[in-house]
Chains A and B, each alone.
Chain A
Amino acid sequence: MEILKDIRISRIPPLRNWRNWSIQRKLLLIILATILASLVLVMVGITIYEVTTYRTRLAKEAEDVGGFLAANSAPALAFDDAKTAKEILNTLKSSPEVSVAVLYTNSGRILAFYIRSGQPKLFLPPRPASEGLQFTSRHVVLVRSIAQKGLPLGMLYLRADMTNVYSRLKGYAGIVLVVALALGGGALLLRVLLQRLVSEPLLRLSHMAGRIAGGDLNVSMPMASDDEIGQLAKTLNHMTAELAHSYAELQRNIGQLQAANKELEAFSYSVSHDLRAPLRHIMGFVELLTKRTGELLDEKSRHYLEVISDSAGKMGGLIDDLLAFSRAGRAEMKRQSVDFNSTVREVITDFSVEAQGRKVEWKVQSLPVVFGDPTLLRQVWANLVSNALKFTRPRERAIIEIGSREKGDIYEFFVRDNGVGFDMKYKDKLFALFQRLHSPDEFEGTGVGLANVRRIVHRHGGSTWAESALGEGATFYFSLPKRRRQEA
């Protein structure tokens, strides 16, 4: 019953919004429109029918009366007897439809006339030219000649009014009006009926669908009827069951994936870890060897030992990077508000040591507060800033810009530098693990920084990309979704 509270009686909204009206209103309107249209059609039909049949009847009556009058008034016309003619015409009193009758002599003079009482005084028509029946909207006019034994004596003008039909039509219109008003009243009842049959069940369904959308998969729709709404309920129930199924399977899959991932990470961790010990031994014993035999060896042999040591050292660096990289994927992500302004400020301060002795211009815009893991996100900034500093080293003056842009549901951040840039041809390799676009002689690094950035940003639900032109600096972007109510 609480559903009814949702159904507000609102004012009639503007017509152009008709699509957004409730189904109730739409249905009501259609029903009323149909009924009104039918009534109008019926009215029109009746009117036409009535008018036509009446006309015919009237015409016939005019003919009959006309014939009767003509026959009776022939003698009066022959003898120019106006009085008798008048008397004859006055018998028309008993024919209620006839309103005007005029007898003309041969020469066109009016011998006698009859005007029904109540008719407005009118101008009697001059001698009519032709015989026949004539219909106007309000009258039927009969003109006929009167003759005896073939000799024309005069003419008769007869006019009948269709007043009757109009009063009948008025009556019909009255009935229709009453019916229409009754409908208006019935519309309210109809509305309640529609509400109960259509709106309420639909709203109930949509309410439950809302609960399902909210995550509660245990609801099931009541099926009160087997009509389309009942079908909808059945289908929704079916869908919910399927969803619950899929969800359960998804959970299982996720569980499996997580387990596999944990295994993999534990494996890569222990492997990287175990790789360290032999590496340490290689380096240690090479060192001991060098110390012991240094003077005895020739330059080349010493060089070989150096290479061995050096390579072992590099391997160590790679293992460390790999460990850090896998840690970036393994660590539990904290979720909290992170003010990027302070993060970036701290990162820049951290790197101020490295930037010492160089001319570095920092252009940092005001940054928003985001939601995520502060440590990991700090690493993102650190990596990007470190890169910017590294690749602007050849420049006399490094200009590093940091800013952000709001784009609908996400924040876009960028770090722009005026360093050596890169060829856009290789933009897809930038963020891959251990991919480098420079030789170690040009710029140091293992190629794990950007891969880390991508990994962390992806874990936060964002994306990474970059733009550059060789020799004209580079801009690295990453996006993060704005905090939403429901966190994935």
Chain B
Amino acid sequence: MIELGRILLVEDNPYDVELTLEALADYNVANEVVVAVDGAEALDYLFRRGAFADRPEGNPAAILLDLKLPKVDGIEVLRTIKADEKLKIIPVVVLTSSREEQDLLNSYKLGVNAYVVKPIDFHEFARAVKGLGVFWAIINEPPPGSARRPGQS
């Protein structure tokens, strides 16, 4: 049985969420995708507070992070994650439509693990998402403390 980790998808646009989920489901990558629709929700989830105080333990195997988010934007979320001892080990993949040099610079400076620009073409998009999913949730050894598929140790 392939171990599939949990993926946290932080994306505000519902259509983009739908497309990403379709792509992930299409390629049977992860069986657990948590969606946060803004930066605040994402942080609440990660820190297990607010609405997510009772969520199951364990960190996501990877975080797919959009940059343009309401309330708390992507860069802020990234900064917060990388500043926290327990959370900074989670691989973060920025998945955004911005190719701006400034965003790239800031993201890498903050220690992002990968930066992927959302292509317009769906096939390419799906391929990118699949590649990410396959790599981060399957091939890559998730950091200790990440949630596993129920039943695995």
Which residues from chain A sit less than 8 Å from chain B, CB to CB?
273, 276-277, 279-281, 283-288, 312-313, 316
B contact residues around A283 at 8 Å (CB) = 120-122
Of A273, A281, A313, the contact of B19 (CB 8 Å cutoff): A281
Given contacts A277-B13, A277-B16, contact A284 B97 (CB under 8 A): no
Given A277-B16, A280-B16, are A316 and B98 neighbors across the interface (CB < 8 Å)? no
Which 9 pairs show the lowest CB-CB distances between chains A and B?
A287-B122, A316-B120, A284-B19, A284-B122, A281-B15, A280-B120, A276-B97, A283-B122, A279-B120
CB contact under 8 A between A273 and B97, given known A281-B15, A285-B15: yes
Most buried by A among B19, B119, B120, B122: B120
8 additional A-B residue pairs with CB within 8 Å, beyond A284-B15, A288-B22: A277-B13, A280-B97, A280-B122, A281-B15, A283-B122, A286-B122, A287-B122, A288-B19
Chain A residues, CB < 8 A from B123: 287
- Bound together, the chains give a CA A273 to CA B103 distance in angstroms of 13
8 Å CB contact of A313 from B16, B22, B98, B121: B121
Q: What's the minimum C-beta distance from B78 to chain A, rounded to whole angstroms?
A: 19
A280 touches B22 (CB 8 A): no
Which residue of chain A has the shortest Cβ distance to B124 in the bound complex? Answer: A283
Whose C-beta in chain B lies nearest to the C-beta of A279? B120
Asked if B27 is at the interface of the complex by the 8 Å CB criterion, the answer is no
13 contacts between A and B (CB under 8 A): A277-B15, A280-B19, A280-B119, A281-B19, A283-B122, A284-B122, A285-B15, A286-B122, A287-B122, A287-B123, A288-B19, A313-B121, A316-B120
Instruction: Please report the C-alpha to C-alpha distance between residue A316 and residue B97 in the assembled complex, in whole angstroms.
Output: 12
Q: Which residue in chain A gives the minimum CB-CB distance to B14?
A: A281
B99 to nearest A CB, angstroms?
8
Cβ of B115 under 8 Å from chain A:
no
Q: How far is the CB of A347 from chain B (nearest CB, A)?
A: 22
- What's the least CB distance linking A365 to chain B, in Å? 35
> Closest CB-CB distance, A77 to chain B, in whole Å?
135
Question: Which one of B22, B119, B122, B123 has the highest number of Cβ atoms from chain A below 10 Å of its Cβ?
Answer: B122
| Chain B positions 78 through 98: 1 when the CB is less than 8 Å from some CB of chain A, otherwise 0 | 000000000000000000011
With A and B bound together, what is the CA distance between A273 and B68 in angstroms? 11
Bound: A382/B13 CA distance, A? 37
The distance from the CB of B151 to the nearest CB of chain A, in whole angstroms, is 32
Residue of B98, B119, B121 with highest tally of chain A CB at under 10 A? B121
